[in-house]
Amino acid sequence: MRRPHALLLACLLAACATPAPQPVPEAPAVPRIGVVGLVQEQRHREINRDNWQRAIVGVIRNTEKDQNANVARMRYEVTVFFDAGEQETIVVDENPNLQPGQRVRVTGNRIEPLSR
């Protein structure tokens, strides 16, 4: 009777020892060409112990410096109209320094200006 239990335990342990399946790697992003339609700055605000007083003062005094005291990070939304007729909004963390009407190459979330 002990032998079947040991065999069952060995089978269960062997099943647990097999590695988990690896995720399927994503296909490489295909570069797409398009035109910048709009670049919007998004301010993500966060109030913490260090900036809450300046944020309240900024609302009362209505000054740009005090109002921006609680900005935790900036993001930029770039709307691109692709040559294939598609439209996409890409979010980037750094200012892309792009102008509406500028031709760009988009690969994944990376935007590169094209030289004219």
Residue with tokens 């102008």: 99
Q: Look up the CATH number of the domain holding residue 101.
A: 2.40.50
- Is 11 part of a structural domain of the chain? no
CA-wise closest residue to 79 among 45, 111, 115: 111
Domain assignment of residue 54, given as a range = 24-113
Residue 20 has pLDDT above 90, yes or no: no
- Pick the more confident residue, 1 or 8: 8
Mean local confidence (pLDDT), 65-75:
65
CA-wise closest residue to 70 among 42, 43, 41: 43
CA distances from 97 to 32, 43, 90 (A): 19, 17, 14
Mean local confidence (pLDDT), 42-49:
71
Domain count, the chain: 1
CA quadruple 65, 68, 69, 72: dihedral positive or negative? negative
pTM score: 0.58
Q: What are phi and psi of 108, to 5 degrees?
A: 65, -120
- Is 34 part of a structural domain of the chain? yes
Q: How confident is the model at residue 39 (pLDDT cuts 50, 70, 90)?
A: very high
- Pick the more confident residue, 44 or 30: 30
Residue 92 has pLDDT above 70, yes or no: yes
